[in-house]
Structure 1
Amino acid sequence: MGELTRIVPFEMVDAALAETGAVQQRLRKIPARVVVYLLLAAALFDDCGYLAVWRKLTASLEAIPVANVTGTALWHARTRLGARPMQALFDLLRGPATAIRTAGAHFKGLLTVAIDGTCLDVPDSPLHRARLGGITNQYGTSGYPQICLTALVACGTRAVLDAAFGPRTSGETVYGTRLTRSLHAGMIVLLDRGFSGNPFLTAVAGTEAAFLARISAARRPPVLERFEDGSHLSRFGGLEVRIIECEITIITSQGRTTGLYRMATSLLDHHRYPASDLVSLYHERWEVESAYFAIKKSMLGRRVLRSQTCAGISQEVYALLSAYQALRIAIADATGTTPGADPDRGSFSVALRCARDQIVRAAGIIADTAIDLVGTIGRAVLDQLMPARRLRVSPRAVKRPLSRYAYKSLRVDRHTHTATLNIKILTPTPTS
Structure 2
Amino acid sequence: MACGTRAVLDAAFGPRSSGETVYGKRLTRSLHAGMIVLLDRGFSSNTFLAAVAATEAAFLARVSAARKPPVLARFDDGSHLSRFGGVEVRIIECEITITTSQGRQTGLYRLATNLLDPHRYPASDLVSLYHERWEVESAYFAIKKSMLGRRVLRSKTWAGIAQEVYALLSAYQVLRIAIADATETTPGADPDRGSFSVALRCARDQIVQAAGIIADTVIDLVGTIGRAVLDQLMPARRLRVSPRAVKRPLSRYAYKSLKVDRRTYTATLSINILTPTISP
Give the TM-score, by structure 1 length.
0.60
Using the alignment, how far apart are the partners of 1:411 and 1:315 within structure 2?
A: 34
How far is the alpha carbon of 1:402 from its aligned partner?
Answer: 2.4
Q: Which amino acid in 1 is paired with 2:200? A: L
- 2:271 is paired with a residue whose SS is strand
Measured in 2, the distance between the counterparts of 1:366 and 1:183 equals 44
Q: CA RMSD in A?
A: 2.3
- Asked if the contact 2:242–2:262 (Cα under 8 Å) also holds between the matched residues in 1, the reply is no
Name the CA distance, whole Å, in 2 between partners of 1:345 and 1:425. Answer: 30
For 1:385-404, what aligned pairs fall within 5 Å after superposition?
Answer: 385-396=233-244, 400-402=252-254
**Residue equivalent to 1:189:** 37
Is 1:421–2:269 an aligned residue pair? Answer: yes
Give the Cα separation in 1 of the matches to 2:145 and 2:28: 27
* Match of residue 26 from structure 2: 178
Letter in 2 for 1:171: G
Partner of 1:162, secondary structure, is coil
SS of match in other structure, 1:233:
strand
- Shift, 1:429, TM fit: 2.4
Cα distance, 1:410 vs. partner?
A: 4.0
CA distance in 2, matches of 1:163, 1:366: 37
What is the identity, as a one-letter code, of the residue corresponding to 1:402?
A: A
The structure-2 alpha-carbon separation of the partners of 1:231 and 1:342, relative to structure 1 and needing over 3 Å to count, comes to: same
Partner deviation per Cα, 1:337-370 (whole Å, 9 max, x = no partner):
111111111111111111001002435699968x
Distance apart, 1:418 and its partner CA: 1.3
Letter in 2 for 1:331: I
Q: Deviations over 1:91-148 (max 9, x none)?
A: xxxxxxxxxxxxxxxxxxxxxxxxxxxxxxxxxxxxxxxxxxxxxxxxxxxxxxxxxx
Establish whether residue 340 from structure 1 lines up as the match of residue 162 from structure 2: no
How far 1:289 sits from its partner (Å)?
0.4
Tell me, in whole angstroms, the C-alpha distance in 2 between the residues paired with 1:236 and 1:365: 61
State the AA in 2 paired with 1:260. Answer: L
Which residue is 2:118 aligned to? 270
1:359-417 residue CA offsets vs partner (Å, 9 max, x unmatched): 02435699968x9696211111111111111114232568854265877x8495x4xx3
Contact in 1 for aligned 2:206/2:221 (Cα 8 Å):
no
Q: How does 1:140-155 map to 2 (within 5 A)?
A: 153-155=1-3
Q: CA, structure 1 residues 398+240, in 2 after alignment: closer, same or farther (shift >3 Å)?
A: closer
The answer to whether the 8 Å contact 1:193/1:214 transfers is yes
Q: Which runs of 5+ in 1 are unaligned?
A: 1-152
- Cα distance change on mapping 1:257 and 1:273 into 2, 3 Å: same
1:230 aligns to what? 78
SS of the aligned residue for 1:201 comes to helix
In structure 2, give the amino acid aligned to 1:225. A
> Match of 1:375?
223
After superposition, the C-alpha distances for 1:28-75 in whole angstroms (9 at most, x for unaligned) are xxxxxxxxxxxxxxxxxxxxxxxxxxxxxxxxxxxxxxxxxxxxxxxx
Gaps of 5+ in 2: none
- 8 Å Cα contact 1:232/1:242 also seen in 2: yes
Measured at CA, do residues 405 and 388 of structure 1 come closer, stay the same or move farther in structure 2, by a change above 3 Å?
farther
Conserved 8 A contact 2:72-2:278: no
Question: Does 1:239 find its partner at 2:114?
Answer: no
Which AA in structure 1 matches 2:108? L
Q: 1:307 to 1:280 in 2, by over 3 A?
A: same
For residue 157 of structure 2, what is the aligned residue in structure 1?
Answer: 309
2-structure distance, mates of 1:234, 1:212: 14
Q: Percent identity?
A: 83
What's the counterpart of residue 14 of structure 1?
A: none
**Which whole-Å deviations, capped at 9, do the CAs of 1:148-195 have from their partners, x for residues lacking one?**
xxxxx0000000000000001111111110000100011000000000
Which deviates further from its counterpart, 223-232 or 331-340? 331-340
TM-score (norm 2): 0.91
- For residues 330 and 430 of structure 1, the distance between their equivalents in structure 2, rounded to whole angstroms, comes to 51
For residues 89-104 of structure 1, what are the structure 2 equivalents within 5 Å? Answer: none
Note the C-alpha offset of 1:225: 0.7
Secondary structure of 1:160's partner? coil
Q: C-alpha separation between the residues in 2 aligned to 1:307 and 1:265?
A: 40
Instruction: Output the amino acid matched with 2:254.
Output: L
Equivalent residues in 2 for 1:16-415, closer than 5 Å: 153-362=1-210, 375-396=223-244, 400-402=252-254, 410=261, 414=264
Indicate how the Cα distance of structure 1 residues 300 and 195 shifts in structure 2: closer, same or farther if over 3 A, else same: same
Change (3 A) 1:263 1:355: same
Alignment check: 8 A CA contact 1:333 1:374 kept: no
- Decide whether the 8 Å contact of 1:332 with 1:343 is kept in 2: yes
* Distance in 1 (alpha carbons) for counterparts of 2:95 and 2:13: 35
Q: Match for 2:31: what amino acid?
A: L
**CA distance change for structure 1 residues 411 and 373 in 2, over 3 Å: closer, same or farther?**
closer
Q: What amino acid sits opposite 1:322 in the alignment?
A: S
Distance in structure 2 (CA, Å) of the matches to 1:314 and 1:356: 23
Provide the secondary structure at the position in 2 that maps to 1:203: helix
